[in-house]
Amino acid sequence: MSERLAVYAEGLFADDHAKAAHGLIRYGDRETVAVIDSTQAGRRADEVVPFVGQPVPVVASVREAAQLGATRLAIGVAPAGGKLPEAWRRALLEGLELGLHLEAGLHDELHADDEIAASAAARGLDLRDLRTAPADLSTPTGEGARLPVRIVHTVGSDCAIGKMTASLELVQGARAAGESGAVFVPTGQIGISIAGWGIAVDHVISDYVAGAAERLVLDGAARGDLLVVEGQGSIQHPAYSGVTLGLLHGCTPHVLVLCHRAGETVLRDWTDVPIGPLDELCDLYERITRPIRPARVAAVAVNTSACADDDEARAAIEDVERQSGRPADDPVRFGPQRLWAAIGSALPVPGAA
């Protein structure tokens, strides 16, 4: 894509709330030419947040970002409740005045703001509301499973343990290894903000979860031939298992990758719900996937971010390998090569899927 992004993160770029901004820079397909945060202006993005890995200039205003060649202004922070604060609104309106297209994944839609909509229409500029699900979703047709693409799906032992990050690292690793058709398929708000497309499957009507997942496979197949579909929740989670299973069945994966946080034995928010043993959890995912299309849990992506150092992380990963009976690694800390070696041998031959 030829879009050049200005990522808006005023006052928050150093914060966890700017996770979408960080992901956009580290993983995005589109070039980010400026970060807007007046409290960090003059520094480089990777000085403020080393994780982003790109020396993008941080500037104080939308105007400066436009001068650096931005073509679209993207909101890179998630406000509490998804509502658009007035200061951000002013920044978006200024972006339109400067000729920038807009993009946001807010609950308050850009299209629903009369002033923003009128300004964009008058200037012929595009408003991209990432949170809006397609209006024509329905139940799946079976078409997704017949496409000649290979589909990897990251499933979880709990919520919020790094399924999105593992998926993004897997795609980066695949591309680095020559799989130019590797595509991250976003299924949640932040992933959508990073990729600039996708459907938040937990916001669609429950009857259409699997249909939304199939739609994402169809859309992903237009972008590449090796899809890594971001998982949601866990099949054992009292609150989110319905979304997890609808997504799992709807995206018809060839291979599953279990994502797990090192050392976790019960759900973080439901401590009376046990996670393991991990080999049984892998078996359950495989058993429930089988009637739709058989898929092995070929590897486990381990989140070792809480480990003090690489030695502790290595030990935690080896423990997961023993418990799960699968190859495991932390793709963020040690790269996705070991995971891909296991995934690749379980995937169908390209084009023959």
Q: Residues in the site for its own copies, rule: CB under 8 A?
A: 139-140, 142, 201-211, 235-247, 249-250, 270, 273-274, 284, 287-288, 291-292
Nearer to its own copies, 32 or 193 (CB): 193
Identify which of residues 38 and 138 has a Cβ nearer to its own copies in the complex: 138
Kindly state the smallest distance separating residue 142's Cβ from its own copies, in Å. Answer: 7
- Cβ atoms 268, 158 nearer than 8 A: yes
Nearest distance in Å: CB 203, its own copies:
6
Query: C-beta of 293: minimal distance to its own copies in Å?
Result: 9
* DSSP 8-state code for residue 44: B
Inter-residue contact 90 to 116 (CB < 8 Å): no
Q: Give the full edge-to-edge strand order of the sheet including 226-229.
A: 182-185, 226-229, 150-156, 255-261, 296-303, 328-329
Q: What are phi and psi of 150, to 5 degrees?
A: -95, 135
- DSSP assignment, residue 141? -
Min dist CB 111 to its own copies, Å, is 20
* Contacts of residue 80, Cβ cutoff 8 Å, sequence gap at least 6: none
How far apart are CB 195 and its own copies at their closest, in Å? 20
Comparing CB distances to its own copies, the nearer of 53 and 294 is 294
Question: Rounded to the nearest whole angstrom, what is the least distance from the CB of residue 305 to its own copies in the complex?
Answer: 25
Beta bridge partners of 301: 259, 329
- Beta carbon nearer to its own copies, 237 or 254: 237
CB atoms within 10 A of CB 237: 21
Q: Judged by CB, which is closer to its own copies: 35, or 200?
A: 200
Cβ proximity to its own copies, 26 vs 237, nearer residue: 237
Q: Quick check: 259 and 265 in contact, CB under 8 A?
A: no
- 36 residue type, one letter: I
Question: Is 44 within 8 Å of 56 (Cβ atoms)?
Answer: yes
